Amino acid sequence: MANDVVISDIHSLNQNQAFEILSQIARVEKKTFPAKEAFSFGEELWKKKPNTRVLYVTSATNGPSSSVLAYAVYVRQKGVALLHKVCVAEPYRRQGVGQKLMTYVRHRLQKEGCQYVQLWVDKAREPARSLYLRNGFEEREEIPDYYAPGRTGIKMVLDLECGG
Ligand SMILES: CC(C)(COP(=O)(O)OP(=O)(O)OC[C@H]1O[C@@H](n2cnc3c(N)ncnc32)[C@H](O)[C@@H]1OP(=O)(O)O)[C@@H](O)C(=O)NCCC(=O)NCCS
């Protein structure tokens, strides 16, 4: 599966295409995360937020109209990026898509001159923590009840200047 995908940026689309992709992403987001943690994939992401990048993954064989398999969102302020989301739609997990997306994000941030990437992850999200560790992130801080009572948040950091 991972060899057969294309990673694109919503900012390379025209408005109608971008809105269609954002609405597909919003549907996957709603299925994956509790309402309180769901990122808002509104149309303003395409119109007014140049620092916020939304990347999405589609199948190469099914062509440009194929549906969104995965996505990632980051906000970059000079040398620091906050990675808000990495998500693979459930039927496509465990096939290398998340890893491919992470490699792409890392290289792209490096090219953009970013030095550090930060993120917060729910301690109970083992697949995500494993994916981030595998990509060079280090766990730096734990905050109990960060997401909700009983749900610990872990801050992870990737230093891109240290060969990440
Ligand atoms: C985390 C997530 C993005 C991984 O995507 P994926 O496409 O299934 O991952 P890949 O197949 O590319 O696997 C890459 C690595 O991720 C980790 N991983 C993925 N699924 C895992 C699982 N079920 N259990 C443990 N580790 C897992 C492993 O380190 C794996 O490397 P390995 O194959 O050498 O073990 C996906 O599970 C997901 O979208 N989860 C829900 C959303 C989420 O929690 N996002 C992160 C918080 S925003």
Per-domain residue ranges of the chain: 2-162
Residue 53's nearest CA partner among 21, 18, 17, 10 is 10
Q: What stretches of 56-145 show up as alpha helix (H) in DSSP? A: 97-111, 126-134
Average pLDDT, the chain: 93
pLDDT of residue 105: 97
Confirm or reject: Cβ of 97 under 6 Å from ligand 1. yes
How far apart, in whole angstroms, are the C-alpha atoms of residue 37 and residue 148?
A: 10
Q: Which CATH number fits domain 2-162: 3.40.30.10, 3.40.630.30, 3.30.360.10, 1.20.1250.20?
A: 3.40.630.30
Confirm or reject: Cβ of 96 under 6 Å from ligand 1. yes
How far apart, in whole angstroms, are the C-alpha atoms of residue 8 and residue 91?
A: 20
The confidence band for 9, taking pLDDT boundaries of 50, 70 and 90, is very high
How far apart, in whole angstroms, are the C-alpha atoms of residue 115 and residue 162?
A: 9
The confidence band for 3, taking pLDDT boundaries of 50, 70 and 90, is confident
Confirm or reject: Cβ of 127 under 6 Å from ligand 1. yes
The confidence band for 2, taking pLDDT boundaries of 50, 70 and 90, is confident
Alpha-carbon separation of residue 67 from 19, 32, 124 (angstroms): 13, 16, 28
pLDDT of residue 37: 86
pLDDT over 70 percentage in the chain: 97
Confirm or reject: Cβ of 134 under 6 Å from ligand 1. yes
| Ligand 1 centroid from CA 48, angstroms | 31
Name the closest-CA residue to atom 4, ligand 1: 98
| Ligand 1 centroid from CA 122, angstroms | 13
Strands in 151-159's sheet, in edge-to-edge order, are 5-9, 52-59, 70-77, 80-88, 116-122, 151-159, 138-148
Which of 131, 134, 151 to mutate to test ligand 1, by most ligand atoms within 8 A of the CB atom? 131
Q: What is the pLDDT of residues 65-115, one digit of tens each?
A: 679 999 999 999 989 999 999 999 999 999 999 999 999 999 999 999 999
| Ligand 1 centroid from CA 25, angstroms | 18
Neighbours of 20 (CB within 10 A): 14
pLDDT of residue 80: 97
